[in-house]
Amino acid sequence: MIENILNSFDELGDSSTEQFPNSFTPNLKPYYALPCSLWKAIVAIHRFKPNVIVGSSFGGFIAMFLLQTRVWKGDTILLAPATGLLFKKRLWLPAGEQNNIVIVAGANDTTVPLDGLSKLQNLSLNNVQFLVVEDEHQLNTSMIEQNQLKDLINANYQPSITNNTINNYFDCTRLWLRCLLSLIVSFIREPLTLYHTTKRLREMKRETYKPD
């Protein structure tokens, strides 16, 4: 079922930064990236009808958001999701859904702290698995080179038992507006979030491009 997976928006890594500079995490503009990424993810679900969603880093946050807003109710694998980059009060995963959710954290990850992901699991119910691997933020060694991602997908895949059907672009628009409304509520609850996130991204960018 590997071909039926949606890989959500992710930081593409150093080698891709030169070709796609806006995809590298420090270059993200939250006020633009959030609505665009949510729309692209919803349209991708409509087009590809995935059984499993895999979201890495910022894409993990997008996948979490789709779970929280009930846009997506299926099996989900979150690879070092960027939970602490935005809303502190969104540090939870929905309860009562008949789906598998796996959080993968890198023990040597300096971008997404391990304690934040541990808190995410603790604030969620028993349908959430938590896996710590000896790897860094991109999880390339453990997930790709050692084929652990493929094993995770095969282990957690189950025939869809929830209604994730998005029939047309009207449905896409309706669900996207639902997400935007939820975003607005989050910004009202945490008014300084956008400022602090933008500031942190600028600091990350300065550190990344700082001369040796």
Q: Residue 69: give its domain's CATH number.
A: 3.40.50
Instruction: For 200, list phi and psi in degrees, rounded to 5.
Output: -65, -40
**Residue 50, domain extent:** 2-208
Q: What is the pLDDT of residue 196?
A: 74
pLDDT in the model for residue 10: 40
pTM, rounded to two decimals: 0.79
Residue 37, CA distances (Å) to 18, 88, 96, 120, 124 in order: 20, 20, 26, 22, 24
Name the residue with higher pLDDT: 196 or 176.
176
Question: What's the average model confidence in pLDDT over 63-82?
Answer: 90
What is the total count of domains within the chain?
1
